[in-house]
Amino acid sequence: MPFVGFDSAKIRSLGRDLKTLGDNAGKLHSDVSAVLTQAQSLLRGKPATTSAALQPLVGNPLSVWPFGGGTLPGSLGHELHDMSDSITRRCNQLDLCNDLLDKGYAIDPALAFADENAPDEKKITDALAAVAALDGKDFGDDGNRDDLEKVKSMLDGMTAAELDAFFAKVPAEDLRRYGDLAKKTDDSGMWWWESHDGIPDDQFRDHLSLLLKKAGPSHWAKLEAAFPGIQPGFDTTDAWLQGYNSQLQQGVQGMHYGMPGDPLFATPGKVDASSISQGQFADCWYIASLTATAQANPKFIAEGIKQNPNGTVDVRIWDKDGKQHWVTVTPDLPMDGNGNLVSAHGNKETWPAYYEKAFALMYGGDDGGTPDNHQGDKLYDRAESGDYGATEWDNTDKAPPYVTGHDSKSIDNNVDALRKSFESHHPVIVATGSVDPKDVPNEWKSSFVSRHVFYVKGFTADGKVILGNPWGGGALDVEATSEQYEKYFNSPQELQVAG
């Protein structure tokens, strides 16, 4: 049903009037300046105006308005032109969205009022035809990359409204076929014309992010079904397989994806490392890296995440080859049966959860075999990628490149080396080995965790290193002397934050 209640002709007329007013702003600026200048001369030195915005016009008819910005009223020229252009674009968008609705297309109501280029039906029908044409095509020995990249280019070039109409029309099996063919990459031929199949993983990841960033929420399930790489699974995690977290000794029942109630940031645009809690997944090695980096450079972490108009979240992350990506994830997160977040989280904020979710999709270093309680058990101990299970039980040097864009640096395993790196403003993480509980110092009985990764929080006045637990919440810090540190901790890594 078309959108009603909007008189496009009258709104367009308003836009034209605003542009005319903008054209006249320069003359008005000069006239006001002349009046104020004359008034001040007649007032024998007394100010002609008490307005801070108008004061620069006294004795200065040009001010800076001809060159953009500046004081009123000259600065209105640029602003009114921009407003007029936006009104025209939005009217075009609304009118052409209504045309598509009349023809049976479905478009998210919010997109009908977007400030973007108006939808082009031909782009939609051409893309539908190109995706359908993949069915039964004989790609042969020359591969299918050209056909797939044609579809990719078409979809990448669509506006949000065009994509919304496309996703509403495209058969689920056609979209799934496109996703399957795109993931079947093979560049094994000896010659440039041989066997170039699929779309390279890094390019397809960026493609999925672009689609998800524009797609309306009603199409997310369709996208997830066609492109499994959009939503990381959690059915290979210890919490799912065991029904509890073995380190925290907490039950985890009824895991599902749900919408969190907290915002991205508790304080808009601000990151607080002390807010982070690891949650129920065994990815302390990643959360410790994230927390240490947030502590050393909160601005870097805050700038690496943003929410899109459709509710999805963009996260900056580097892949296994060191290439930077902005990975788009849906806003739903793993929860238990009571609606509590199972994933990482903050104190009344969710940004750590989305960093973790993007990492689950991107981590490419899980080879299996990392020591835990299930070595050799293929249900747990296996190589995997694209899900939360891939992020569990790994080594301290694996996560930093995904967080910072650089490999971490192994440093000497002593408190002096930790202090030197920490005081040079580097994030620092350390690991513990498998330690018998009866061998743990009494003062650590409630804070030390074996087979875990901590981060350096600081140093006490008497020279002990303060090690933070990425579990967050009520988890206690460990304060270790030089001798204690060298006995119980190992594998220190100095993180290098991208400049």
Domain ranges of the chain: 8-98, 118-228, 238-404, 409-494
Tell me, what's the pLDDT at 410?
A: 98
Whether pLDDT at 65 is above 80? no
- The residue-averaged pLDDT of 57-66 equals 61
Tell me, what's the pLDDT at 402?
A: 97
pLDDT digits 0-9 by tens, 74-83? 778 888 889 9
Q: pLDDT tier at 365 (50, 70, 90 boundaries)?
A: low
Whether pLDDT at 191 is above 60? no
Whether pLDDT at 158 is above 60? yes
Tell me, what's the pLDDT at 188?
A: 47
For the annotated catalytic residues, the residue numbers are 284, 452, 469
pLDDT digits 0-9 by tens, 456-475? 999 999 999 999 999 998 89
pTM: 0.85
Tell me, what's the pLDDT at 67?
A: 44
Per residue, what are the HEC states of the chain?
Answer: CCCCCCCHHHHHHHHHHHHHHHHHHHHHHHHHHHHHHHHHHHCCCCCCCCCCCCHHHCCCCCCCHHHCCCCCCCCHHHHHHHHHHHHHHHHHHHHHHHHHHHCCCCCCHHHHHCCCCCCCHHHHHHHHHHHHCCCCCCCHHHCCHHHHHHHHHHHHCCCHHHHHHHHHHCCHHHHHHHHHHHHCCECCCCCCCCCCECCCHHHHHHHHHHHHHHCCHHHHHHHHHHCHHHCCCCCCCHHHHHCEECCCCEECCCCEEECCCCCCCCCCCCCCHHHCECCCCCCHHHHHHHHHHHHHCHHHHHCCEEECCCCCEEEEEECCCCCEEEEEECCCEEECCCCCECCCECCCCCHHHHHHHHHHHHCCCCCCCCCCCCCCCCCCCCCCCCCHHHHCCCCCCCCHHHHHCCCCEECCCCHHHHHHHHHCCCCEEEEECCCCHHHCCHHHCCCCCCCCEEEEEEECCCCCEEEECCCCCCCCCEEECHHHHHHHEEEEEECCCCC
% pLDDT > 90, the chain: 60
Tell me, what's the pLDDT at 459?
A: 98
